[in-house]
Amino acid sequence: MHSTGANKSDRPAKRTLIIGWDAADWMILDPLFERGRMPRLRQLIANGTRADLGTLEPKLSPLLWTSIATGKTADKHGILNFVEPQPDGSGLRVSQSTTRKTKAIWNILSQAGCTTNVIGWYASHPAEPVRGHIISNLLQEGEPKNLDAAWPILPGVVHPEALAASIADSRQGARSFPREQLRKLLPKLDEIGKNDDHGATLQKLMAYAASIEAAAHVAMAAGEWDATMIFFDAIDTVGHHFMQFRPPRMAHVSDREVRLYGDVMDRVYEWHDEALGRLLDRAGPDTTVLLLSDHGFHSGANRPNLKGLPRSGAWNWNRVGTGPMVCSWHRDPVWCRVPCAVRARCSTSHPLRSPCSPFEASAAIKQLVALGYLAALPEDARSRIDLVSRESRFNLAVSLMSRNRYAEAAALFTALVSERPSDVRYGSCLVQCQTAQGAHADALITARDLLARDPSSREFRLMLAHALALTGDLASSLRESGILEKAAVGKPEFALGLAALAMVQGRYDAAAQHAGIAAANDPHNTAGHLALARAELARGRFEEAAGHALDALEIAQAMRSTPSVGAALA
């Protein structure tokens, strides 16, 4: 039944189509646009606008996409990892909708009388009983090895259950993925050796993408709707396997691999453009469309060895602002500000206890490990739970640290260091929190301990040099920076850290030199330009400082650069 609780004539958007492309990046899209590719997205931008969407920390997809859906950061919405312990302590499961501590867009719109479809969103399983349809992110689980075997849909994947049979029939199995479609993504398919699993990997990942699109069409065709939200993860998941082969050639990649796989990522982007076109046609006119990405994916010469950064836009907002904005398109935005304690009593979410299948912690979790989202898990259940618990607390602490809640984050990092002193990430983040709070003596102790554990670490030596300078031992700090600068010759990736250290030491000429190297090495990154602005400002070169700060603004509309601009122009 179509919604009656909201008057369409009185709201900015008659219907809304929200599409998520995990890890989509202007650094790939813009060159494709310049070559006349991605026609449906180009048309969408031409008729609307494009923008940079500031990401959050940590850059983990379940956390980010839940922030987009709720308007809350991870410490408030409660999704802290790809997986979580089972409530009874028996093992792990993929992070669940029942763990979320606040309402999502679909809950709020449903309470407002709007009909909403949600397909494939992270942490959406089990599907919530909203007004509309939800197909959870476990849509593809349980595919049998035998093509002739039954493939039942998991309990809780589809709401309402009456749609489950149609959704099940619409799925595209990996083993039955049409070879001509695979060849379109991988033209050199017939040249791949029998022991090369790249074709099978691509086939599996794109079969899931095809299933998501098919499920979206089923849900959208099932009746009138006010909002539809569809999430595709293929750009990110395929990128983990194939981005390394994209030109320019990386040192560990052979010429043959570039020839075979070098254009797979561009073709995957084009598949998404074609899917976008089909979904736009399905949605029809008078539809407000919002296409989102949660973060970029390094694709150029500075890619990490896995065996991006967005450019300027017309305007800027943060991921946590997406949910309230969408709600305001459909009705009074006050619903987006209802306290969590009140929302918990509303009727469009699960009861606190929901049945969970043991299967949910098997194939799906293995896939996360294979993609590198999760570290290889220990064999015994208790060790697995302990590992996931630590990582979830670490993610929470990083989220708090990114929001300048250093005392709360430091308490978590301190506990983690006590539990696992060998995990240097915990100590490294603790140093950052201690420094931010002005606890420089504590930071010095922690930094010395870290360097003692790994004397070859440039990062830890850099932290030690910072702490020494901030505690007044400039001579020792300069000795450490001398070691660092010798080791960093020909390694521009260390230039930003050296620039920041030189600023703390009062060596502003050296800071400007290092910042210039960083900006030249990665010109699309605002950080190098901002470091240059700060160094030039300290040198009293105000026009140059303003120029570099404005360069940073032009690149990414980075709000954090505004203070540098103001100081330089004052």
Q: How far apart are CA 68 and CA 323, in angstroms?
A: 6
pLDDT at 413 over 70: yes
One domain, residues 336 and 428: no
- Mean pLDDT check: name the lowest of 26-30, 381-385, 443-447, 510-514: 381-385
* 12 occurs within a structural domain: no
143/279 same-domain check: yes
Query: Residue 418's pLDDT band (boundaries 50, 70, 90)?
Result: very high
Task: Let me know whether 289 and 191 are in one domain.
Answer: yes
Q: Are residues 439 and 352 in the same domain?
A: no
Q: Does 368 reside within a domain?
A: no
Residues 435, 308, single domain; the answer is no
Same domain, 431 and 353: no
Q: CA distances (Å), 526 to each of 316, 457, 522, 547, in order?
A: 15, 26, 9, 13
Angle at the Cα of 188 (from 187 to 190), degrees rounded to 5? 115
List, in sequence order, every beta strand (DSSP E) within 59-147.
83-85, 92-94, 116-119, 132-135
What is the pLDDT averaged over residues 222-234? 97
Mean pLDDT, rounded, for 273-299: 92
**For the segment 474-529, what is each residue's pLDDT rounded down to a tens digit?**
999 999 999 999 998 888 889 999 999 999 999 999 999 999 999 999 888 889 99
Residue 377, pLDDT above cutoff 90: no
Q: What is the mean pLDDT of residues 42-53?
A: 91
Please list, in sequence order, all residues whose beta carbon lies within 8 angstroms of the beta carbon of residue 206, skipping any fewer than 6 positions away.
177, 181, 182, 185, 234, 238, 268, 271
For residue 267, tell me if it sits in a domain. yes
Strand, helix or coil for residue 541: coil
Q: Is residue 4 part of a domain?
A: no
Reported as a pLDDT band with limits 50, 70 and 90, residue 11 is low
User: Are residues 279 and 356 located together in one domain of the fold?
Assistant: yes
Query: 337 versus 447: which is more confidently predicted?
Result: 447
Amino acid (1-letter code) at residue 500: A
pLDDT of residue 298: 65
Q: What is the reported pLDDT for 490?
A: 86
Task: Please give the residue that has the higher pLDDT: either 161 or 558.
Answer: 161
Percent of the chain whose pLDDT exceeds 90: 70
**Residue range 378-400: mean pLDDT, rounded:** 91
The C-alpha atoms of residue 386 and residue 377 are separated, in whole angstroms, by 10
Q: What total number of domains does the chain contain?
A: 2
Q: What mean pLDDT comes out for the span 325-338?
A: 42
Looking up residue 142, the CATH number of its domain turns out to be: 3.40.720
The answer on 181 and 64 residing in a single domain is yes
Q: Which two tokens stand for residue 343?
A: 């929302």
Same domain, yes or no: 267 and 160: yes
Per the domain annotation, does 377 fall within a domain?
no
473 Cβ contact list (under 8 Å, min separation 6): none
Residue with the larger pLDDT of the pair 369 and 53: 53
Query: 425: domain range?
Result: 419-569
Better-predicted residue by pLDDT, 363 or 359: 363
In a domain, 275, yes or no: yes
How would residue 4 be classed by pLDDT, with cut points 50, 70 and 90?
very low
Are the CB atoms for 248 and 148 separated by under 8 Å?
no
> Beta partners for 20?
231, 292
Dist CA 291 CA 133 (whole Å): 20
Looking at 321, 346, 361, the residue that finishes a domain is: 361
* Distances from the Cα of 406 to the Cα of 304, 412, 433, 437, 450, angstroms: 29, 10, 5, 7, 20
Mean pLDDT of the residues in the chain: 86
Q: What pLDDT sits at residue 362?
A: 59
Q: What is the CATH number of the domain that holds 432?
A: 1.25.40.10
Which stretch of 241-250, 277-286, 427-436 has the lowest confidence by average pLDDT? 241-250
Q: What is the pLDDT of residues 259-280, one digit of tens each?
A: 999 999 999 999 999 999 999 9
Render pLDDT for 168-218 as a digit per residue (tens, 0 to 9).
999 999 999 999 999 999 999 999 988 899 999 999 999 999 999 999 999
Whether residue 153 lies inside any domain: the answer is yes
Instruction: State pLDDT tens for residues 79-127.
Output: 999 999 988 888 899 999 999 999 999 999 999 999 999 999 999 999 9
Q: How confident is the model at residue 353 (pLDDT cuts 50, 70, 90)?
A: very low
pLDDT value, residue 556: 61
Decide which of 342, 361, 380 is a domain's last residue: 361
Report the sign of the C-alpha dihedral through residues 538, 543, 549, 551, in that order: negative
The burial class, CB within 10 Å (0-12 / 13-18 / 19+), for 456 is exposed
Establish if 402 belongs to a structural domain: no
pLDDT value at 306 more than 70: no
Averaged pLDDT, 306-323? 40
pLDDT tens, position by position, 143-156: 998 888 999 999 99
Rg (C-alpha) for the chain, rounded Å, is: 25
pLDDT band (50, 70, 90) for residue 311: very low
**Quick one: CA torsion of 384, 390, 391, 397, rounded to 10 degrees?**
170
The last residue of one of the domains, among 328, 343, 361, is: 361
Q: Are 355 and 426 in the same domain?
A: no
